[in-house]
């Protein structure tokens, strides 16, 4: 399939939005490949995403943006248009556990991930060789209780240096400082190894074993200042029984963590996730 | 939520369809509650469904239809508009097994099914009392090898008498005559107790046991002249193991059959299923 | 399949238990149809369940029990043996919502449920006609803030009158008094409409919508004095999206509630659930 | 957990097997960590698997085997005992697609796979660098229509040289010669990218798209002379819709293929799969 523009809009709902937007796209010759709408009737908010074939447009992106701005003001829209030929730059944060990191690197290497992995930052050095096989720069930034402020200053410097658009906590095991959560709001994606809101915080599989649940899960969410409480992008579960030890749960859970994180990240990279309050609208293909 | 019109369209794809349709709806004051598009890039066909709030329209249905016909001709559309206040009339066909029939009757009784059950036709008399408790007319039309033509003539007469819009084979266990399949094309829904195209025909659970599969399923599909080969609306599966006997498979399978049929029928009743060739586009909410 | 005895054992783990039990069964001529073991290595506890073909035994139940008591003492066992020809008696508690009640009554009517429904107790009269169609005695016992003690005294009287072995809260919507929870420990089964421990208490679908989860679930558990915190028997989930309203969640959730409750109850009726502390061992076939 | 012996038995069913086996294990001081039985009542065949803690035994493996042989003869058993400290040697066969190969190598590297990867044989050279990063010998054996006999002679030589116990076709895309299927019966595991028996042979996702199914799947099975018809070990599915192209199906399918193959292989490596006729008994933990 050819490259596309992605036009993403949210605004107060009213009659005529769809017609005006469709009319505008049509005038530019735009061939709509995918379109999704959603009205949240509980708060009167409207969400919309279009994929428009680049080759079909009779104007360039700047001209589109200039023209659309007027219409956007009229409907009080929050909006942006992105280009699938300018994929988002991804900074992966890791620790010692490799399953999520290896999974994302492999997907990227196989051209499955619609983004560009620009660097890995890790607070341990264990995964350096694996990362370097993929020819991705690896930065070892240890985080200790004493060095936390300096470590995160260094970390933010690296992110800025690579102009990363999104930070993925691929089992990073460190809590980001509140200021960093605010600075990168909507740009930091975490994978938590439980079906949130159950089992917030440390050792969720131990918590799950203690409670005797019959399914365990994983949750991909945006990071906010409140631990494990940000907007949820994607979740999934897997069945367990009394016969599974905590080690079995960790093993089974890894498969869920990997796929949930990969799906959630994919949605983000394709601008399919619209955050509103503490919830998300996810326009899955 | 208020009552809605459902505008359902399919046509050759081209630039401007969305804009023209949205413009038309907007001019009539129509507030779009739900909108779905799909372009099948393999054959250049476009599919579209809108839910429009009835109360928001500044014209009646006849006026809408008259105006829209012109636009429809222009884009070579197959289309219709339906009214959620005129729910489809359902004829349920059954045999001796009650699980699908009981499930649908209960959903309808609890106002969960967006349609009206107008009659039950059964080739055995066993389920009469259950059906009559729901105050639904029960017609016992036995089908024997000798009586098949007369039986189906009688059956079609009943369907016509109640002006049924859709026939649901709720484990009916009889093969409809080819002419009836043609006459009611796209209006007869069957539940087959396997994950089609595996295990077509009789005794699918026995076939599944013989093959040693690890999941069993059910398939809701439109009936055509070719047995168990019509367009698929919905499918699902459930896990089994070596420890399950064929009786266990039947028991577990019943739960899948019920939910798959209820979901598939719901999609049909809300005009969410667009048939194209031998495949369906299902615009799930 | 023929009728079976179910021998259910839990005790401290040690070498020789399996051999001694198997030897005892073998001496009585018992043909073992199904056998399950589990050792909880975290606390050294052993769990075991056998299904023994009744017709294969060369002694009656009393003789078996007398002989086995000696062996049981030796290994410090908690144990019992039950007879599938003496199915458990079930009291169903309901309110106004019919989906779980109708589902269980229908399964029982179709001989799918390995137990005997002896009565329904409801705090509203709405479901009387449906229950009476199944020829099950219906007792309307209203519960109001003022009448709670008398209402539950009356309720316990009814349970005693029918000699019910298990109470099923089929969306009963009332909290049982603490003393009743203690008196019927391990004999009261509830269905909670969330994936516990998430969303304890009232209106779990509203809580789920508020948090923006991507899956909703249901949990079948034993009732204890602590609300929604008793040992979990069975759980399942279903996928939702931003497009589902709370009414959609209720509709989708009902299907999960029904199947989770039916599965959990089935396990209990077949003596497949062994409670230990606040967790369960479920020996699923 | 400590290392274990795995005692795996199948034989005609009769009273006393369990007692005799348990008695024998108990006399050797064996602490049973996991035990599974199954009787196939359709053909009177009995299946059994024990995990016995190595450290608990008062005899060595040779002594156990010598003693058990007598008992085995008495009950006409097919049986073996394996040692978790002597893990099976795995030969991975691959082509150009890396997802299954990379997944298994990573699991093995992280000590998740209870076996030892001894070599990779590939009919293309593309994946050499990836395999060599894992320090696994990589053998490029091209297969062309003309060279097939020589290529497979070379391939068998390699398998023999590494004394591989199991061959995994990790999207190998070549059909093994009939003689090789016979020689390695029960030792060659394939992943087929459909929910068998649907869509046997080439391009199953194209076949699935053509038929319009709503779920796609993957099947892990033993290879026999009949293409895609050997005993099934494990299967799973994932939901698709009309909006998914064949490329989307391939992408979604890869995740199912990986996990189904990894699960199936794990069962095989832990001697949890008992083949009987064309079906399997899988004693999942």
Give per-residue pLDDT as tens, A82-117: 999 999 999 999 999 999 999 999 999 999 999 999
Q: Does D99 lie in the same domain as D196? A: yes
Measure CA C252 to chain center. Answer: 23
The span from the CA of A13 to the CA of A278, in Å, is 19
- Quickly list H helices, chain A: 17-27, 61-74, 99-109, 128-133, 148-161, 178-183, 204-211, 246-269
The span from the CA of C269 to the CA of C84, in Å, is 9
Contact in structure between B143 and B151 (CB atoms under 8 Å): yes
pLDDT mean over B134-144 = 97
pLDDT mean over C215-241 = 97
Measure CA D104 to chain center. Answer: 13
- The CB-based long-range contact list for A82-87 (8 Å cut-off, 24+ gap) reads A82/A5, A82/A6, A82/A8, A82/A271, A83/A3, A83/A5, A83/A6, A83/A54, A84/A3, A84/A4, A84/A5, A84/A6, A84/A54, A84/A114, A84/A270, A85/A3, A85/A54, A87/A114, A87/A115, A87/A116, A87/A269
Contacts of A66 (CB under 8 A, 6+ apart): none
Of A36-40, C88-92, D136-140, D164-168, the range with the lowest mean pLDDT is A36-40
**Model pLDDT, residue C24:** 96
Give per-residue pLDDT as tens, C13-51: 998 899 999 999 999 999 998 999 999 988 999 999 999
Q: Does D162 lie in the same domain as D244? A: yes
Q: How many residues does chain B have?
A: 285
Q: Does A257 lie in the same domain as A132? A: yes
Contact in structure between C235 and A217 (CB atoms under 8 Å): no
The span from the CA of B120 to the CA of A140, in Å, is 71
B1 confidence band (pLDDT: 50, 70, 90): low
**Model pLDDT, residue A125:** 98
The span from the CA of B178 to the CA of B183, in Å, is 9
Burial of A13 (0-12, 13-18, 19+ CB in 10 A): buried
pLDDT mean over C125-138 = 98
Give per-residue pLDDT as tens, B74-88: 999 999 999 999 999
Token pair recorded at residue D105: 């190598």
Give per-residue pLDDT as tens, B154-189: 999 999 999 999 999 999 999 999 999 999 999 999
The span from the CA of A270 to the CA of A258, in Å, is 18
Task: Please answer yes or no on whether A251 and D110 come within 8 Å at the CB atom.
Answer: no
Q: Does C137 lie in the same domain as C206? A: yes
Contacts of D229 (CB under 8 A, 6+ apart): D197, D200, D278
**Which of residues A83, A106, A139 is at a domain's end?**
A83
Task: Indicate the helix (H) or strand (E) that contains C24.
Answer: helix C17-27
> Per residue in B167-203, is it b (16+ CB within 10 Å) or e — as a string?
bbbbbbeebbbeebbeebebbbbbbbbbbbbbbeeee
**Chain A stretch 18-77, residues whose beta carbon is closer than 8 A to a beta carbon of chain D:** 34
Catalytic residue among A60, A125, A165, A228: A228
Task: Please answer yes or no on whether C242 and A195 come within 8 Å at the CB atom.
Answer: no
The count of other CB atoms within 10 Å of the CB of residue C172 is: 24
Contacts of C among chains (3+ CB pairs under 8 A): A, B, D
C188 pLDDT above the threshold of 80: yes
CATH of the domain at C197: 3.40.50.170
Task: Characterise B29 by phi-psi region: left (phi > 0), alpha (psi -120 to 50), beta (else).
Answer: left
Average pLDDT, chain B: 96
Q: Does C126 lie in the same domain as C255? A: yes
The count of other CB atoms within 10 Å of the CB of residue B74 is: 12
Question: Taking Cα atoms as reference points, which of D246, D242, D245, D224 lies closest to residue D233?
Answer: D224
**Model pLDDT, residue A41:** 86
**Model pLDDT, residue A200:** 95
A15 pLDDT above the threshold of 90: no
Task: Please answer yes or no on whether D235 and B214 come within 8 Å at the CB atom.
Answer: yes
- B125 is an active site residue: no
The span from the CA of B38 to the CA of A35, in Å, is 8
Residues of C annotated as part of the active site = 228
Give per-residue pLDDT as tens, B192-247: 999 999 999 999 999 999 999 999 999 999 999 999 999 999 999 999 999 999 99
C246–chain A nearest CA distance, Å: 10
Strands D188-192 and D166-169: parallel
D147 pLDDT above the threshold of 90: yes
* A40 φ, ψ (degrees, to nearest 5): -85, 100
Write the DSSP assignment of C201-268 as a string of letters: SS-HHHHHHHHT-SEEEEEEEE--SSTT-SPEEEEEEEE--TT--HHHHHHHHHHHHHHHHHHHHHHH
The span from the CA of A279 to the CA of D194, in Å, is 36
Q: Does A267 lie in the same domain as A142? A: yes
pLDDT mean over B249-268 = 98
The span from the CA of B123 to the CA of B155, in Å, is 10
Rg (CA), chain A: 21
Q: Does A121 lie in the same domain as A224? A: yes
Question: Taking Cα atoms as reference points, which of B83, B90, B123 lies closest to residue B107?
Answer: B90
Instruction: List chain B residues with CB under 8 Å of D196.
Output: 198, 211, 213
Instruction: List chain B residues with CB under 8 Å of C130.
Output: 133
D285 confidence band (pLDDT: 50, 70, 90): low
Contact in structure between B122 and B140 (CB atoms under 8 Å): yes
Task: Indicate the helix (H) or strand (E) that contains B190.
Answer: strand B188-192
D47–chain B nearest CA distance, Å: 11
Measure CA A40 to chain center. Answer: 22
**Model pLDDT, residue D273:** 98
CATH of the domain at B79: 3.30.70.260
Task: Please answer yes or no on whether C32 and D18 come within 8 Å at the CB atom.
Answer: yes
Q: Does D13 touch chain A (CB under 8 A)?
A: no
Instruction: Write down the residue that tokens 């970390």 correspond to.
Output: A155
pLDDT mean over D241-268 = 97
Task: Please answer yes or no on whether C237 and A215 come within 8 Å at the CB atom.
Answer: yes
Give per-residue pLDDT as tens, B267-284: 999 999 999 999 999 998
Instruction: List chain A residues with CB under 8 Å of C47.
Output: 242
Contact in structure between A221 and A196 (CB atoms under 8 Å): yes
The span from the CA of C127 to the CA of C131, in Å, is 6
Q: Which domain holds residue B235?
A: 88-282
**Model pLDDT, residue D238:** 97
The span from the CA of D225 to the CA of D130, in Å, is 31
Q: Does D211 lie in the same domain as D174? A: yes
pLDDT mean over A4-20 = 94
Q: Does B72 lie in the same domain as B92? A: no
pLDDT mean over C180-192 = 97
Which DSSP state fits D117? Answer: E
* C72 φ, ψ (degrees, to nearest 5): -60, -40
C112–chain A nearest CA distance, Å: 24
Q: Does A135 touch chain D (CB under 8 A)?
A: no
Instruction: List chain D residues with CB under 8 Å of A254.
Output: 112
D53 pLDDT above the threshold of 90: yes
Share of chain C above pLDDT 70, in %: 99
Q: Does A95 lie in the same domain as A76? A: no
Task: Please answer yes or no on whether C15 and D56 come within 8 Å at the CB atom.
Answer: yes
Write the DSSP assignment of B141-179 as a string of letters: ----TTTHHHHHHHHHHHHHHTT-SEEEESS---PPPHH
The span from the CA of C96 to the CA of D94, in Å, is 60
pLDDT mean over B147-155 = 96
Average pLDDT, chain C: 96
State the sign of the Cα–Cα–Cα–Cα dihedral D122, D125, D127, D129.
positive
Q: Does D213 touch chain B (CB under 8 A)?
A: yes
Q: How many residues does chain A have?
A: 285
Give per-residue pLDDT as tens, A50-59: 999 999 999 9
Average pLDDT, chain A: 96
Strands D279-282 and D273-276: antiparallel
Task: Please answer yes or no on whether B18 and A34 come within 8 Å at the CB atom.
Answer: no
Q: Does B53 lie in the same domain as B116? A: no
Minimum CA–CA partner of A246 in chain C: C42
Q: Does B110 lie in the same domain as B66? A: no
**Which of residues D83, D104, D119 is at a domain's end?**
D83
Looking at chain A, the number of H-run helices and the number of E-run strands are 8, 13
Share of chain A above pLDDT 90, in %: 95
* C271 φ, ψ (degrees, to nearest 5): 55, 40
Q: How many residues does chain D have?
A: 285
A271 confidence band (pLDDT: 50, 70, 90): very high
Minimum CA–CA partner of C259 in chain B: B255
Strands C88-94 and C115-122: parallel
**Model pLDDT, residue A266:** 98
Share of chain D above pLDDT 70, in %: 99
Instruction: List chain B residues with CB under 8 Å of A4.
Output: none
Give per-residue pLDDT as tens, A233-260: 999 999 999 999 999 999 999 999 999 9
Catalytic residue among D165, D228, D247, D284: D228
Task: Please answer yes or no on whether C15 and D35 come within 8 Å at the CB atom.
Answer: no
Share of chain B above pLDDT 70, in %: 99
> Per residue in A219-252, is it b (16+ CB within 10 Å) or e — as a string?
bbbbbbeeebebbbbbbbbeebebbbbeebbbbb
**Which of residues A38, A61, A83 is at a domain's end?**
A83
Identify which of B215, B232, B245 has the shortest CB distance to residue D237: B215
Write the DSSP assignment of A38-100 as a string of letters: EEETTTTEEEEEEEEEGGG-SS-HHHHHHHHHHHHHHTT-EEEEEETTSPEEEEEEE-S--HH
- Regarding predicted confidence, which is higher, B1 or A260? A260
The Cα diameter of chain A in Å comes to 62
Task: Characterise C76 by phi-psi region: left (phi > 0), alpha (psi -120 to 50), beta (else).
Answer: left
The span from the CA of B35 to the CA of C234, in Å, is 37
pLDDT mean over C151-159 = 97
Give per-residue pLDDT as tens, A198-232: 999 999 999 999 999 999 999 999 999 999 999 99
- Quickly list H helices, D117-203: 128-133, 148-161, 178-183
Catalytic residue among B76, B228, B248, B284: B228
Instruction: List chain B residues with CB under 8 Å of C106.
Output: 98-99, 102, 106
A187 confidence band (pLDDT: 50, 70, 90): very high
Contacts of A among chains (3+ CB pairs under 8 A): B, C, D
Strands D4-12 and D78-83: antiparallel
User: CB-hemisphere CA count at 13 Å for A83?
Assistant: 10
- Regarding predicted confidence, which is higher, D187 or D284? D187
Q: What is the dihedral of CA D173, D176, D182, D188, to 10 degrees?
A: -30
Task: Please answer yes or no on whether D215 and B198 come within 8 Å at the CB atom.
Answer: no
Identify which of A38, A195, A245 has the shortest CB distance to residue C242: A38
**Model pLDDT, residue A1:** 60
The span from the CA of D192 to the CA of D170, in Å, is 9
Minimum CA–CA partner of D132 in chain A: A133
ipTM of the complex: 0.95
Q: Does B128 touch chain C (CB under 8 A)?
A: no
pLDDT mean over A1-20 = 92
When divided into structural domains, chain B yields a total of 2
A260–chain C nearest CA distance, Å: 11
**Model pLDDT, residue C23:** 93
Give per-residue pLDDT as tens, B10-65: 999 998 899 999 999 999 999 998 999 999 988 999 999 999 999 999 999 999 99
C1 pLDDT above the threshold of 70: no
**Model pLDDT, residue C285:** 67
Task: Please answer yes or no on whether B15 and A26 come within 8 Å at the CB atom.
Answer: yes
Q: Does D264 touch chain B (CB under 8 A)?
A: no
The span from the CA of A56 to the CA of A23, in Å, is 15
Task: Please answer yes or no on whether B243 and C99 come within 8 Å at the CB atom.
Answer: no
């Amino acid at each position: 399939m050819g490259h596309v523009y992605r036009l993403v809009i949210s605004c107060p709902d009213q009659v005529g939005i769809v017609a005006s937007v469709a009319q505008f796209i049509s005038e530019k010759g735009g061939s709509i490949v995918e379109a999704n709408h959603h009205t949240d009737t509980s708060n009167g908010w409207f969400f919309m995403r279009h994929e428009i074939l680049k080759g079909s447009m009779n104007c360039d992106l700047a001209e589109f943006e200039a023209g659309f701005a007027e219409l956007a003001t009229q409907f009080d829209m929050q909006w942006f248009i992105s280009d699938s030929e300018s994929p988002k730059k991804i900074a992966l944060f890791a620790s010692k556990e490799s399953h999520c990191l290896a999974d994302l690197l492999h997907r990227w290497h196989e051209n499955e991930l619609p983004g560009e992995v620009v660097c890995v930052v890790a607070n341990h050095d264990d995964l350096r060789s694996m990362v370097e096989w993929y020819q991705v720069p690896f930065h070892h930034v240890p985080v200790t209780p004493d060095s936390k402020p300096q470590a995160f200053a260094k970390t933010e410097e690296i992110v800025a240096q690579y102009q990363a658009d999104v930070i993925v906590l691929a089992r990073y095991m460190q809590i980001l400082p509140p200021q960093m959560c605010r600075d990168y709001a909507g740009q930091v994606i975490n994978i938590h190894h439980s079906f949130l809101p159950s089992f917030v915080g440390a050792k969720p599989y131990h918590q799950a074993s203690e409670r005797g649940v019959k399914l365990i899960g994983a949750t991909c969410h945006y990071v906010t200042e409140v631990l494990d409480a940000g907007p949820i992008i994607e979740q999934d579960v897997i069945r367990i029984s009394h016969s599974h030890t905590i080690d079995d749960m960790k093993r089974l859970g890894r498969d869920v963590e990997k796929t949930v994180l990969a799906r959630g990240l994919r949605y983000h990279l394709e601008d399919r996730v619209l955050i509103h309050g503490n919830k998300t609208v996810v326009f899955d293909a």
